[in-house]
Amino acid sequence: MRYSGLQVLAQGLLGNRGWTPAWRDPDPKPAYDILIIGGGGHGLATAFYLAKEHGLTNIAVLEKGYLGGGNVGRNTTIVRANYGLPGNSEFYSHSLKLWEQLESELNYNVMHSQRGIINLFHSDGQRDAYARRGNAMINQGDDAILLDNAGCRKLLPYLDYDQTRFPIYGGLYHPRGGTARHDAVAWGFARGADTRGVDLIQNCEVTGIDIENGAVTGVQTTRGAIKAKKVGIVVAGRSSQVAAMAGMRLPIESHVLQAFVTEGLKPCLDHVVTYGMGHFYVSQSDKGGLVFGGDLDFYASYAARGNLPMAEHVMEAGLTLMPMIGKAKVLRSWGGIMDMSPDGSPVIDKTHIDGLYLNCGWCYGGFKAVPGSGFSFAHLIATDRPHAPAARYRLDRFLTGRGLMDEEATGSQHNLH
């Protein structure tokens, strides 16, 4: 079924009885050409682009829970291309371009809203760093505007500019950045992949990876063994556990990241705003809730929930930056499991096992990467060659130390910053 305004009208007149399920619920077949482990944003996007760009459809996505139940449905939905380092810059630029055509490509409203992102800076040194990053963004063909204090006041009048410790000097404005509706992105890719013949198998946990003579031959699951010529691991916070099934020890740590949503308010925040002197960022959802978050919980865990000290820390940073937020009541909070890589940049690569591919290390920034990662991972799996914008996302950089991409210049343990 094709979605359109006319369809909404027609279904409304017919009592909404004609809508069909957005995807099938098939049983797994004994064998596929390609298996994708993980039905999050990246896994579903990979299956979609394998089918759409490479004409490969004998594919199954194996998801241990339900589609969109992982981080893709738990994040704070910021979409941007404001990276400065070669490697990241071209990848996120490509991903943002895919976002800009996603809704028509998927025939699905993912509520992509390019409302602009403003990263605030609070010192001369930070202004220099943001100016450099803005220039890199412009060189990459993306957009960046360096705002001074007056420029920020015009766009963000509600901030506390003269706060005692960290007065706001200005901000780096990325007008094409914004937000999208997180689970709609999963649903849109799921529907697009299913329509092209991909089997989406839910409640199907992969429990083992079969390898013979150095090549992958299939997987063991809670719904039986499934054979495959190629297998892609794309399980975000569970990357180390699933890779261990193939005897691999990844340089990935799993950490909790929390998010918070307030009660619905009248529109008061037009942009996404990030604090430059504390871990706090905020936007307003279409339902009116202020959606905000901050830092990791600072200990490795597989629990998809956070703890109070970090909640308090995030609230404090929010109140420092925009005291008006203190009047809003927090309605909900939750956590997701982040796959933290040592340099804060991801991996899209082949493994040393023939036919086994790895996509992980997205840390707390993998939502905006969903289309780009799916596109590049599909290219790698289909052609056995890296896709140019993701060519630097090699796993062996952590072994050799060559080609590390420490975007935030925070040192060798990204999860500690």
Residues lying near ligand FAD in the complex (CB under 6 A) are found at 37-43, 62-65, 69-72, 74-78, 205-206, 234-238, 242, 257-259, 293, 336, 362, 364-368
Least Å from the CB of residue 345 to ligand FAD: 12
User: In the complex with ligand FAD, which residue's Cβ is closer, 76 or 262?
Assistant: 76
Nearer to ligand FAD, 51 or 233 (CB): 233
Q: Which is nearer to ligand FAD, 96 or 265 (CB)?
A: 96
Instruction: State in angstroms the smallest separation of the CB of 60 from ligand FAD.
Output: 11
> Is 74 or 127 the residue whose CB approaches ligand FAD more closely?
74
Q: Which of 169/295 has CB closer to ligand FAD?
A: 295
Between residues 52 and 127, which has the closer beta carbon with respect to ligand FAD? 52
CB 43 within 8 A of CB 61: yes
Token reading at 139? 């060189």
Q: How far is the CB of 64 from ligand FAD (least distance, A)?
A: 4
- Minimum CB separation of residue 187 from ligand FAD in Å reads 12
Shortest distance (Å) from residue 18 CB to ligand FAD: 30
CB of 366 to ligand FAD, least distance (A): 2
Closest distance to ligand FAD from the beta carbon of 186 (Å):
7
**Residue 69 or 288 having the CB closest to ligand FAD:** 69
Which residue is closest to ligand FAD by CB?
40
